[in-house]
Structure 1
Amino acid sequence: MRDFAVTVLVLGLSGAAAGLLWSFLAPRPPYVMSRQGPLLADPSTQALIAADGWFAVITGVLGLVCGAVGYGLSRRGRPLAVLLGLAGGGMLGGYLTLVVGQAVNLGEVSVAASGQGLSLVPGPLDLTAQGVLYAWPTLAVGLFFALEGIAGYRDSPLRRPFGGQDPYGPLSGYDIGGR
């Protein structure tokens, strides 16, 4: 239980730091202030997609790093607890990245001046593709499984059939000379 809890806690704290980084790197979409409230100035803006992309890159890289570190540390301990911690902690880390990134405004807040007397303001940071929330746990668990599969194959007796000897070598009992 301790390995699981420590893994979830570390990934959660990493999610808060990732939220600060996402807030700093992701662009904000421009909004126009109107009588009805703020309206998206350009519905085809690429800022919405770029925010999703930055979120996916940041949490994806953290997922790969956490998967590799978690696998390395679990080799001498309880790998199932660490694996479950990577899944749960990755979900928590992704969620905290979203919440912290939306709560702070560290990135570019200036918006180009608009024409026609309308004032543009930077909009809030948000995700339009909710599926990127799963980048962190998916890549962490996926890399953990891949590394475990490679290590399992390397240690497997199926890799060296016949006791590790060549079945057609000189000790096989076959005489090539016809005797």
Structure 2
Amino acid sequence: MKTEVRQAAVLAVAVAVSGILVGLLWLWLTPRVPLISDGKAVYLKDTEGEQAIAIDGTFTLLALGFGVVCGVVAFLLRRRGGLPLVVGLAIGSLCGALLAWQLGKWFGPETDVVAHAKAVGKGVVFDAPLELKAKGVLLAWPVAALAVHLGLMALFGPRDPEPYPAPYAGHAPYEGPRSDGRPEGTGS
């Protein structure tokens, strides 16, 4: 059991650290939301733009992709599975998603929109901060990782031994009481 827990801890740390790559990819691939200030308030430059929802969508797609990869790698490294592995995969994936989110926010555009608007000046376009509006997308990575791992375990994982041995050669298996009401062992 100690070995399984140690392997699960290593897997959790490795998966969580891969959140750095997800965060940097999210920062790089996400379209920017342009804002503009009139000196009194801050507005969207393009009120019908879809960039704001693309922030959540890009994060979700990256998290799903990394979840699939993590589930496959966890299965390939340890085909026997086990509860510690699954818990390590879930915790590592959730920590990786949280790390990616915070890293994208930290390295992304300025989070204090009012101060940034004052700094750039009136009528100058600037980028909105990277914010996840739908916090549920943080679960995309762990759900994808666990679903892929479960599917691979179901398809290719080790099988439990049969609970009842096969009947001996030459003996018919027991089929239960007869349906015609006659006692067992009597001829037809």
Same fold (TM over 0.5): yes
Q: Return the alpha-carbon distance in structure 2 between the equivalents of residues 152 and 74 of structure 1.
A: 10
Tell me what 1:95 maps to: 98
Corresponding position: 1:7 with 2:23: no
Q: Does 1:122 align with 2:127?
A: yes
How many residue pairs align between the two structures? 151
Distance in 1 (alpha carbons) for counterparts of 2:70 and 2:83: 15
Give the Cα–Cα distance (whole angstroms) in 1 for the partners of residues 167 and 62 of structure 2. Answer: 47
Report the alpha carbon displacement of residue 44 of structure 1 after superposing the two structures with TM: 3.6
CA separation of 1:153 and 1:14: change in aligned 2, threshold 3 A: closer
Q: 1:140 matched to which residue of 2? A: 145
Between 1:37-46 and 1:66-75, the stretch displaced more is: 37-46
Unaligned runs of 5+ in 1: 107-116, 168-179
Select the residue among 45, 49, 71 that pairs with 1:41: 45
Counterpart AA for 2:85: V
- Identity across matched positions, percent: 34
Secondary structure of residue in 1 paired with 2:18: helix
Which moves more between the two structures, 97-106 or 17-26? 97-106
AA aligned opposite 1:138: V
Give the 5 Å matches for 1:1-179: 1-36=5-40, 38-75=42-79, 79-105=82-108, 118-151=123-156
Q: Distance in 2 between matches of 1:135 and 1:54?
A: 12
Q: Which moved more, 1:137-146 or 1:34-43?
A: 34-43
The letter of the residue matching 2:35 is Y
Question: Secondary structure of the equivalent of 1:128?
Answer: coil
Quick one: distance in 1 between partners of 2:156 and 2:24? 36
1:37/1:156 CA distance change after superposition, 3 Å: farther
Matched residues in 2 for 1:162 and 1:44: separation? 71
Aligned twin of 1:114: none
Cα RMSD between the aligned structures? 2.7
The alignment partner of 1:146 has SS state of: helix
| CA deviation vs aligned residue, 1:33-75 (integer Å, no higher than 9, x gap) | 2434543334442011111111111111100000011011122
2:79–2:157 contact (8 Å) kept in structure 1 = no
149-158 or 91-100, larger mean C-alpha shift: 149-158
Name the SS for the 1:121 alignment partner: strand
SS in 2 for 1:124: coil
Shift in alpha-carbon separation, 1:65–1:36, aligned structure 2, 3 A: same
